[in-house]
Amino acid sequence: MPGYIIDLDGTLYAGTEPIPEAAPFLAKLKEEGSPYLFVTNNSSRTPEEVARHLREVARIPAEPEDVLTSAQAAARYQADAAPGSRVYAIGEAGLLRALKAAGLVLVDDPAAEPPDAVIQGIDRAFSYAKLHAASAAIRAGAAFIATNPDLQLPTELGLTPGSGSLAAAIRAASGREPVWIGKPSPIIMDYAVQKLGLPPGEIWVVGDNLRTDIAGGLAAGCRTAWVLTGIAAGTDPDEQMRSAGVRPEAILRHLLDWPDGA
């Protein structure tokens, strides 16, 4: 049985609306005994919150162990590089909990306690003071790790600034490029592949975003299925693939629309 690395928003649900094919698709994977993992660039929620959202919104029986967030991957990356190191975090509960769970030590005032790394995710309380603290720490030698490059997030309010837009401010102020963790980075994809325990060629990466899900799947050597829901809904697929410069192995109108033999 192949394994599946499955995107969340736009693939299993759209904001607070379920995508109707998601629950029967997951039921089919469970019945076949196919292993799967939900992988999200959203660093704001804990795996428990992600699983609850999946249960309540997408009506999928998800558990925290079925989830890998960019916050968890960023925490693991820093904990592997420097176990127990000191981190200045810019982010929300999902990131802060993941860093502590990985045994990293959070510092509140990087000017007083120089951190080994600045780790940044989405932070809806981002401020000039945080930007100043982060850029000063990075210029003083701290590593710069960003959970994900998404510049904008589609919400009920239209497009809102994503984590990548905050990273852009820190890049400008520090003069340094971050290590990117989330999709399409091979860092999160490799962790996801390891967690499934299958060779990449036996794993389908499924998602609605060519530039993150599909590009990440291709970079990791996985099979790729682009589903035309979420941000891909109502767009011209050929035009999208041309502009992204990314070609998935399969294009699905919805999650139950797999080509024969896949």
Peptide bond into 186 cis (omega under 30): no
Site string for Mg ion, 196-235 (x = CB under 5 A): ------------xx--------------------x-----
Distance between first and last Cα of the chain: 10
Active site residue 7: yes
65-124 residues near Mg ion, rule: CB under 5 A:
none
Amino acid identity for residue 243 in this structure? S
Token duo for residue 159? 């497009």
Tell me how far apart the alpha carbons of residues 179 and 9 are, in angstroms, rounded to a whole number: 24
Least Cβ distance, residue 115 to Mg ion (angstroms): 31
Cα radius of gyration rounded to whole Å, the chain: 18
Least Cβ distance, residue 242 to Mg ion (angstroms): 20
Instruction: Specify burial of residue 174 (Cβ count, 10 A radius: 0-12, 13-18, 19+).
Output: buried
Active site residue 116: no
Site string for Mg ion, 161-200 (x = CB under 5 A): ----------------------------------------
Q: Spell out the residues 6+ positions from residue 240 whose beta carbon is closer than 8 angstroms to its own.
A: 210, 232
Q: Which of 9, 21, 66, 150 binds Mg ion (CB under 5 A)?
A: 9
Tell me how far apart the alpha carbons of residues 260 and 244 are, in angstroms, rounded to a whole number: 26
21 touches Mg ion by CB under 5 A: no
**CA nearest 206: which of 17, 16, 21?**
21
Q: How many residues bind Mg ion (CB under 5 A)?
A: 6
Least Cβ distance, residue 106 to Mg ion (angstroms): 29
Amino acid identity for residue 52 in this structure? R
Q: Which of 4, 6, 7, 189 binds Mg ion (CB under 5 A)?
A: 7
Q: Which is nearer to Mg ion, 36 or 144 (CB)?
A: 36
Residues that bind Mg ion (CB under 5 A): 7, 9-10, 208-209, 230
The catalytic residue positions are 7, 9
